Amino acid sequence: MKLKIRELKKHPEKHLGQDVTVNGWVRSVRDQKSFSFIDLNDGSTLSGLQVLLKADRPGYSELLPKLQIGASLSVKGKLVQSPGEKQAIEVDADEIKVIGLSDAESYPLQKKRHSFEYLRTIAHLRPRTNTIGAVARMSSSLAFATHHFFQSRGFLNIHTPIITASDCEGAGELFRVTTLDVEKPPRTKEGEVDFSKDFFEKPAFLTVSGQLNAEIYAMACSDVYTFGPTFRAENSNTTRHLAEFWMIEPEMAFATLEDDMELAESYLRHVIQYVLEHNEEDIDFFDKLISPGLKERLLGVVHSSFERVTYSDAIILLENVDRKWEFPVKWGIDLQTEHERYLTEEHFKKPVILINYPKEIKAFYMRLNEDGKTVAAMDVLVPGIGEIIGGSQREERMEVLEEKILKAGLHKEDYWWYLELRKWGSCPHAGFGCGFERLVRFTTGMENIRDCIPFPRTPGNALF
C-alpha cells in the first residue's frame, strides 16, 4: 500500500509487520559495511523515515551510487520497529526504485543549515528543507482551521474580485491592470492616457482588500468571509510587508465593534489551538531552533484574554514611558511598530486590541464615534509582530459616509454602489482583515515574512 510518512508515524500499529510503499526524496545516506540507512522525506512530516537497505540485497552495489541527496525514490518493504534510539519505526527495504537521479555535488541543498537569504534564491528547492517544509505544513493547517472556524459559525465563504476599480483603503497603493500598450498608449485630446480604450474601458487595479465587496454580501447573507490574495504597491522593505499577501476578511451584519473584537479574539485562539494540536512536531521544531519561547507565547494567546485599550489611553501610556522613540508620540500619530510592540510585548505582555483611533489616520469607511474625533476601529497587536488584524465597525449612515468620502478626497460616483447599501436596509455592520502571512509568522516565529509565503513578492523581487 502506498502511504505517506505522516500516516506511518501517526499510526504505526496499523502498519507494523506489513509491506508498505513510500515515495520521497533522499535527505541523507549513511553507508555502513553491511547495510545503508537512508533518511527519506516526503514533506508530510518534519522528521523523515529511516529506510534500512541491507548489503546482501541483489543489486546493492549498483544501487548504492544512485542513492544521493536529493534523489527521488520509491521504497517497498516491511515496516518494523527500529532498534535505533532516534526513531520508533523504520522500513526494511525489499525493493528501492530510483525514480529521479540527483547529483549530490551540484545539488544546491547540502546537509547543513543554509541562510534564509540563500534559500530565497532557490525557492524551487527550499520547500525540501526542514524549516520551509514546516512553514508549508503550518500554513496549510492555518488555512484549514480558518475555514473551519468561520464555517462552524455559519459564515458564508465569498470569492471577492481580484481586479477592481476602487481603492478600498484609499491609500493609493494600487497595482494597475491594463492591456494598453505601455509604450504607446492611446491618448485623449488633452494628452492623457485614454483608459476608455483599455480592457475594462476604465482604469482597473489589483485589489488591496476584499472588504467593500464582502460588505455587499454581508448586507444580504448576514455573516460572510473572504480569504484571498491582496496586493499593495507600497515600497516597504521590511520583515512584515509583502506586495502580494493573503487576507482573511470576515464581515458581519447587525454587528458592532464589540462583536468584531469578540470574533477576532475567538478566531486567533481557534487557529492557534488548532496548530498546537495538529502541528506539534513542527511547533516543537520552531520553538527549539527558530524562536525559543514560541510555544509558550502561543499557549499564552490561547489562555489569556486580550487587553482592550483605547488609542487615547495608549498614547498617554506611551508618552509616560521613559524612552526615546524613533517616532515621537503624540495624540494623532499613526502608531509605529516600535509603539505597537512595546504595548504588547513589554507593557501588557499579551495580545492587545487598540480601539477608537483618530479619524484622520483611518480609512473612510470606519464608523464615526459620538465624539466626532475618533472612529470605531480596532487593531489587534501580538508579541513579536505588532499589528496582525485591522478592522472596524463600518459607517452605515448615508450622510456621514458621503461626507467622509468627500473629506478623503475620493469621488462619490466611484462608490455609488457602496453608498446605495446605506439607502435600502442599512444596518450596523463590522469586520476585519487578518494578514495570513503575519499569522504564519506569528505561529512559526519566523523572522521574515518572505519566508512565510511560498513565493514572496516584494519591491524589486518577483522571482519564481
Give the footprint of ligand 4AD on this chain (CB under 6 A): 168-169, 209, 211, 232, 241-242, 245, 247, 249, 387-392, 431-435, 437-438
Q: Is the CB of 128 or the CB of 429 nearer to ligand 4AD? A: 429
Distance of closest approach, residue 381 Cβ to ligand 4AD, in angstroms: 9
**Number of alpha carbons in the 13 Å side-chain half-sphere of residue 292:** 0
Distance of closest approach, residue 345 Cβ to Mg ion, in angstroms: 19
355 binds, among ligand 4AD, Mg ion, none (CB under 5 to 8 A by kind): none
211 binds, among Mg ion, ligand 4AD, none (CB under 5 to 8 A by kind): ligand 4AD
Q: Is the CB of 43 or the CB of 390 nearer to Mg ion? A: 390
242 binds, among ligand 4AD, Mg ion, none (CB under 5 to 8 A by kind): ligand 4AD
Distance of closest approach, residue 80 Cβ to ligand 4AD, in angstroms: 47
206 binds, among ligand 4AD, Mg ion, none (CB under 5 to 8 A by kind): none
433 binds, among Mg ion, ligand 4AD, none (CB under 5 to 8 A by kind): ligand 4AD
Q: Could you give the C-alpha distances from 26 to 67, 130, 435, in angstroms and in order?
A: 7, 13, 35
Q: Is the CB of 24 or the CB of 386 nearer to ligand 4AD? A: 386
- Which stretches of the chain bind Mg ion, using CB under 5 A? 390
The candidate with the shortest Cα–Cα distance to 386, out of 338, 420, 424, 433, is 338
Q: Is the CB of 390 or the CB of 445 nearer to Mg ion? A: 390
Q: Is the CB of 29 or the CB of 257 nearer to Mg ion? A: 257
Distance of closest approach, residue 170 Cβ to ligand 4AD, in angstroms: 10
Q: Is the CB of 5 or the CB of 453 nearer to ligand 4AD? A: 453
Distance of closest approach, residue 230 Cβ to ligand 4AD, in angstroms: 7
Distance of closest approach, residue 337 Cβ to ligand 4AD, in angstroms: 12
Q: What residue is closest to Mg ion based on CB? A: 390
CA dihedral 351→438→257→305, nearest 10 degrees, is: -20
445 binds, among Mg ion, ligand 4AD, none (CB under 5 to 8 A by kind): none
431 binds, among Mg ion, ligand 4AD, none (CB under 5 to 8 A by kind): ligand 4AD
Q: Is the CB of 48 or the CB of 390 nearer to ligand 4AD? A: 390
168 binds, among Mg ion, ligand 4AD, none (CB under 5 to 8 A by kind): ligand 4AD
Distance of closest approach, residue 105 Cβ to ligand 4AD, in angstroms: 38
Q: Is the CB of 119 or the CB of 381 nearer to Mg ion? A: 381
Distance of closest approach, residue 169 Cβ to Mg ion, in angstroms: 8
Distance of closest approach, residue 387 Cβ to Mg ion, in angstroms: 6
Q: Is the CB of 249 or the CB of 287 nearer to ligand 4AD? A: 249
432 binds, among Mg ion, ligand 4AD, none (CB under 5 to 8 A by kind): ligand 4AD
Strands 163-164 and 89-100: unpaired
